[in-house]
Structure 1
Amino acid sequence: MNNSRRLFQNAILLLLSLSLFTTYAAAQKNPSVGNLFINAYEKKDEAAMKKLIETRTKEFPAEVQAMVEYSMSPKAGKQEQDFLFGVAGLIANMYGEQTGDMRLFEAVKANYSSVLKKRKATTLDPNVVSALKKKIAALGGGDWRVNMFRLDQSGVLTVEIDVRESSGGAGFTPRIEFKKSNEARDIIKAGLPAVKKGKISWSSMGIGLKTVFIE
């Protein structure tokens, strides 16, 4: 019975492997026009890029739209955004020169401008962050250390504070006083008045101690 089950499992794994290989091979044989353009771009092959624009013109608007949509999604990091918007802008500009229609380029430019504005709004001043970290550490009497101080693209702030284990006394878990946790929140709200949402959490040796929300 065990041998039959093992043979069945091996057969399933073999089928999955063949399926993945077939999918990968198909992707290599039929890359999208966007991928072909990126390959040419990375090789600095201007002739190949121009030829793609000239011979497969109608395929590019959808490719550019897909690049922009992904770049503006939470999945894309800053460097990835900049790279893809750079490629999308180049494609859109060349497409405009080929067709005389610059609307695609203007759309890419407008979306990238929106991303940059949003990025600027969620960029924290290092000096302000440093000052806030010092104030929070002082509030904790030297037993608190800020491990994370991050504002995401949605404008949500996350502050994580590590609490010295010994601050709770021998054999006791450290305790975060209600008054001090509220003071920490007030310090951050005063230093970052534009931040309207977030949370501050305290932990010690991987054990969560307290969380307060910024609202």
Structure 2
Amino acid sequence: MQSPFKTAELQALLDEMAREAPFPSIDALNARLAQRMQQYNTTPQPELGGLSPDQAAQLLYGDWATVGAFRVTGEAAPEALLAVPIVADARLLMAYLGANGPVKLTPKGNLTRAAVAELAPQLRSEALLEERGGLAPLPVRNEDDVRWLPVLKHILLFGKLATKRKGLLLSARGRALLPDPQVGSLFVELFLTFFRQFDLR
């Protein structure tokens, strides 16, 4: 029975080494293996979406800011970033917290029905979700009735743009990133928080 850890690529490499044997020394064998592995790691693989193993590793293990194949920057035109639904919605909630904070929370830690009633009709992500998915608007009473609102609230908390203290408050960091000229920095913060810190559990 073949080992589940012995892939077709590994078997092909072992067969290739067997055909080239004998090697004059263990050092020569190791050098040939290193050369062959370097070739494999830099060759595009269909199962990796056309990326090589080295490129896939850079994409998966980079920090998206200083190392790796991917960088998140806020260098787009401010008007383009202001139109991004999650950015617009985050600024909406941040402005609401800034004007009304501390915003009362229910015993379960949710926004009150009054806050939900004011915020829900203005959420661009929710409208876009309904439009693209052909979804009928949900009857809204509680925070959990608004598909994007709990996610948005937690992104602000994980990103330290909001904080809980006798309710929900806009943090000093959130206040600094709310003005229009800071939209690029806010976009980066939201993107990295959602994709690298936010946990759906």
Give me the TM-score of the superposition, normalised by structure 2.
0.29
Name which structure has the greater RCO, CA cutoff 8 Å, separation 6+. Answer: 2
CA radius of gyration, larger in: 1
Give me the TM-score of the superposition, normalised by structure 1.
0.27
